[in-house]
């Protein structure tokens, strides 16, 4: 069975290909168990056609960032998920953050952008099935 997507989250180790959504979700659950709010992991999920979804998991906090096909060639921009408490978020304020690492590089994301694991899995499933921005979640342009 051909791969539906590949997931890259480990430094210096090639991406892992997955042939089913259920196999991918199991791997993401396993990855999430080793994370905390202060020590999360980001994974790059790429499907044929070039769309990429960054999946950040930091304990109970999940975040998605969608990049369209040929992102670097266009000025379309990327989109991040919006959590319920993100309605009037002032990014100039000192915000609670979750931290994560992607290939040894540290990053932070406002906790207000967090979505639940169930919402993240719905978004990931929609990403695998759709040819454009997954419509099962609320998104904001980066």
Domain boundaries defined on the chain: 5-141
Q: What is the pLDDT of residues 51-97, one digit of tens each?
A: 899 999 999 999 999 988 777 666 677 888 887 655 555 555 667 89
CB 27 within 8 A of CB 16: yes
Greater pLDDT, 49 or 63:
63
| Tokens of residue 60, six digits | 């109970």
Stretch 24-35: mean pLDDT, rounded?
95
Residue 86, C-beta contacts closer than 8 angstroms, at least 6 positions apart: 110, 112, 113, 140
Does position 142 have pLDDT exceeding 70, yes or no?
A: yes
């Amino acid at each position: 069975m051909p791969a539906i997507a590949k997931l890259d989250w480990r430094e210096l180790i090639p991406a892992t290909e997955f042939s089913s959504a259920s196999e991918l979700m199991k791997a993401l659950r396993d990855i999430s168990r080793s994370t905390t709010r202060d020590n999360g992991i980001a994974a790059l999920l790429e499907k044929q056609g070039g769309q990429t979804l960054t999946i950040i998991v930091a304990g109970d906090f999940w975040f998605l960032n969608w990049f369209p096909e040929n992102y670097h060639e266009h000025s379309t921009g990327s989109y991040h998920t919006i959590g319920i408490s993100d309605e009037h978020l002032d990014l100039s304020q000192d915000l609670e953050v979750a931290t994560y690492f992607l290939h040894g590089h540290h990053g932070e994301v406002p906790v207000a952008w967090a979505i639940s694991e169930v919402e993240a899995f719905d978004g990931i499933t929609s990403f695998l099935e759709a040819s454009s921005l997954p419509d099962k979640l609320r998104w904001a342009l980066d």
